[in-house]
């Protein structure tokens, strides 16, 4: 996949110790600051190593690659000593299926070619990245023997609702590791693990379009890699109302998570409980930008789903779950979607995906109103709660997923409910 001209540039650079990748697509407004933070982090914390910054771009039309080329950190303002080795910068388009996964594939290939010891990847639209993030993502790999570093952020209680209500509880219950942000976007990993990722036969699949974050996390767990988390403070990007432009993103993330359940069924079936994952970095409270949500609009979408999709849900959900949905009252200001009901809904949709009960796209789109109903109920329940109190509620949901995992296992190999 590496082009001849890029291969010549890599040959000229020679072996390297560290690689930081920034996948991008039309991120000219924010990527300059991200590049500054990466260069400053490498210079401040890893000034004696040979480091490479790779911008793997998906064909931006807004000048993103040119912004990367021109961006240079003012190292004199942060350094005690001058950097021994310069940071080599590679700005190159990726080829193949459009998507973040294809961008990562090129980053993995460059890491393998250069023989790097440690890699990190960061999103191009970050507004809260600091040089310390680079140290926190790379140091556990270079100096502590970890192979995979997942991010640990503080986020607004209504930012990351797909993670909070589905991906974190489900992956924790399945694979037994309490990785709080399994699809966070910023990761550290060893050069060896990058090579392992590269060897997997997924690059012609939907992983190459989307789902790369959950795929990397799940693959690292299933492989038995030594995993930790890095506390990065606030993640500030451009959050969206969970009810806006949602269906496609939800289908991508949940569809990828369900597909991985098939691939690693024998792994998660053997897991009974969850265990904590160590966190590097000093945990501190940060100011968080507000996230605007519209619970009324979510409830209307859920009620419309009750009216139009109940016959389809009847094919997916267990009879007792369906009965609870039919009897659900959504008026007023009280929460209406219990943890237990939501857990069974997610597990029933995972089972339906596993059994190929219907067109996969239709299945996942029909899941959207249920998700919106759950998020709306959660908003009603937590409006007056603090960040730590909301985390306690998410912990309760995770424990419910773990308790009810037996339901999933008992039905996994059965053709019907």
Model confidence at 79: pLDDT above 70: no
Model confidence at 401: pLDDT above 80: yes
Question: In this predicted structure, what is the pLDDT of residue 82?
Answer: 52
Task: Please tell me the distance from the alpha carbon of residue 302 to that of residue 362, in angstroms, as a whole number.
Answer: 16
Both tokens assigned to 176: 């037994």
Q: Which pLDDT band holds residue 238 (cuts at 50, 70, 90)?
A: low
Give tens-digit pLDDT for 295-334.
999 999 999 999 999 999 999 999 999 999 999 888 888 8
Give tens-digit pLDDT for 336-366.
999 999 999 999 999 999 999 899 889 999 9
User: Does residue 88 contact residue 101 with C-beta atoms inside 8 Å?
Assistant: no
Both tokens assigned to 404: 């009810």
Question: In this predicted structure, what is the pLDDT of residue 400?
Answer: 98
Task: Please tell me the distance from the alpha carbon of residue 137 to that of residue 259, in angstroms, as a whole number.
Answer: 28
Q: Which pLDDT band holds residue 80 (cuts at 50, 70, 90)?
A: very low
190 membership: H or E segment, kind and range: strand 187-190
Phi, psi of 173 (to 5 degrees): -65, -40
Task: Please tell me the distance from the alpha carbon of residue 316 to that of residue 311, in angstroms, as a whole number.
Answer: 9
Question: What are the angstrom distances between the C-alpha of 191 and each of 20, 24, 107, 109, 198?
Answer: 11, 21, 11, 10, 11
Buried b (16+ CB within 10 A) or exposed e, 328-337: bebeeeeebb
Class of domain 4-280: alpha beta
Phi, psi of 245 (to 5 degrees): 50, 50
Burial classification of residue 299, based on how many CB atoms lie within 10 Å of its CB (0-12 exposed, 13-18 middle, 19 or more buried) = buried
Q: Which pLDDT band holds residue 389 (cuts at 50, 70, 90)?
A: very high
Both tokens assigned to 153: 């952020």
Rg (CA), the chain: 22
258 membership: H or E segment, kind and range: helix 247-263
Q: Which pLDDT band holds residue 241 (cuts at 50, 70, 90)?
A: very low
User: Does residue 105 contact residue 72 with C-beta atoms inside 8 Å?
Assistant: no
Edge-first strand order for the sheet with 227-234 is 87-93, 51-57, 18-24, 118-121, 187-190, 148-154, 227-234, 279-280
Both tokens assigned to 84: 């021994």
pTM over the 0.85 mark: yes
Pair type for strands 227-234 and 51-57: unpaired
Query: Which stretches of 272-400 are assigned E, i.e. beta strand?
Result: 279-280
User: Does residue 213 contact residue 183 with C-beta atoms inside 8 Å?
Assistant: yes
Q: What percent of the chain has pLDDT over 90?
A: 71
User: Does residue 94 contact residue 57 with C-beta atoms inside 8 Å?
Assistant: yes
User: Does residue 281 contact residue 149 with C-beta atoms inside 8 Å?
Assistant: no
| Spatial CB neighbours of 60, under 8 Å, sequence gap ≥ 6 | 24, 25, 26, 27, 28
Closest CA to 157 of 299, 293, 251: 293
Q: Where are the domains of the chain?
A: 4-280, 295-412
Task: Please tell me the distance from the alpha carbon of residue 202 to that of residue 413, in angstroms, as a whole number.
Answer: 25
Closest CA to 30 of 197, 327, 237, 198: 237
Give tens-digit pLDDT for 129-149.
999 999 999 999 999 999 999
Question: In this predicted structure, what is the pLDDT of residue 75?
Answer: 56
Question: In this predicted structure, what is the pLDDT of residue 416?
Answer: 62
Q: What is the mean pLDDT of the chain?
A: 91
Weakest mean pLDDT among 69-83, 90-104, 332-346, 349-363:
69-83
DSSP symbols for 66-79: HHHHH----GGGT-
3-class SS at 298?
A: helix
Averaged over 383-399, what is the pLDDT? 95
Burial classification of residue 393, based on how many CB atoms lie within 10 Å of its CB (0-12 exposed, 13-18 middle, 19 or more buried) = middle
């Amino acid at each position: 996949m590496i082009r001849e001209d890029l291969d010549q540039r890599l040959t000229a650079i020679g072996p390297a110790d560290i690689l930081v990748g920034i996948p991008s697509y039309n991120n000219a407004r924010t990527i300059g600051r991200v590049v500054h933070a990466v260069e400053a982090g490498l210079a401040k914390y890893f000034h004696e190593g040979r480091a490479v910054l790779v911008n793997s771009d998906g064909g931006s039309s807004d000048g993103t690659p040119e912004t990367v080329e021109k961006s240079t950190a003012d190292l004199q303002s942060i350094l005690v000593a001058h950097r021994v080795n310069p940071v080599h910068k590679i700005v190159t388009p990726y080829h193949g299926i459009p998507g973040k996964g294809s961008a990562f594939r090129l980053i993995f290939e460059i890491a393998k070619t250069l023989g790097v010891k440690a890699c990190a990847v960061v999103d191009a639209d970050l507004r809260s990245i600091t040089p310390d993030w680079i140290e926190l993502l790379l140091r556990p790999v270079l100096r502590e023997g970890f192979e995979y570093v997942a991010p640990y952020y503080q986020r607004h209680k209504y930012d990351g609702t797909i993670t909070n209500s589905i991906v974190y509880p489900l992956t924790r219950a399945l694979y037994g590791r309490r990785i709080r942000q399994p699809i966070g976007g910023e990761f550290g990993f060893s050069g060896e693990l990058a090579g392992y990722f590269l060897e997997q036969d997924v690059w012609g699949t939907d992983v190459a379009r989307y789902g790369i974050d959950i795929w990397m996390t799940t693959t690292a767990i299933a492989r038995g890699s030594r995993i930790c988390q890095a506390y990065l403070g606030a993640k500030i990007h451009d959050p969206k109302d969970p009810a806006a432009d949602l269906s496609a993103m939800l289908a991508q993330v949940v569809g990828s998570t369900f597909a991985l359940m098939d691939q690693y069924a024998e792994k998660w079936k053997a897991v009974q409980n969850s265990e904590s994952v160590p966190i590097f970095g000093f945990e501190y409270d940060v100011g968080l930008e507000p996230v605007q949500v519209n619970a009324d609009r979510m409830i209307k979408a859920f009620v419309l789903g009750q009216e139009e999709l109940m016959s389809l849900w009847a094919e997916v959900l267990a009879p007792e779950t369906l009965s609870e949905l039919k009897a659900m009252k959504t008026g007023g200001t009280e929460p209406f979607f219990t943890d237990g009901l939501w857990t069974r809904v997610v597990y029933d949709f995972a089972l339906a995906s596993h059994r190929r009960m219907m067109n996969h796209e239709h299945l996942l789109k029909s899941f959207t109103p249920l998700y919106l109903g759950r998020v709306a109920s959660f908003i009603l329940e937590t409006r007056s709660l603090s960040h730590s109190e909301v985390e306690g509620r998410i912990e309760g949901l995770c424990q419910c997923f773990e308790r009810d995992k037996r339901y999933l296992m008992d039905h996994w190999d059965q053709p019907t409910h």
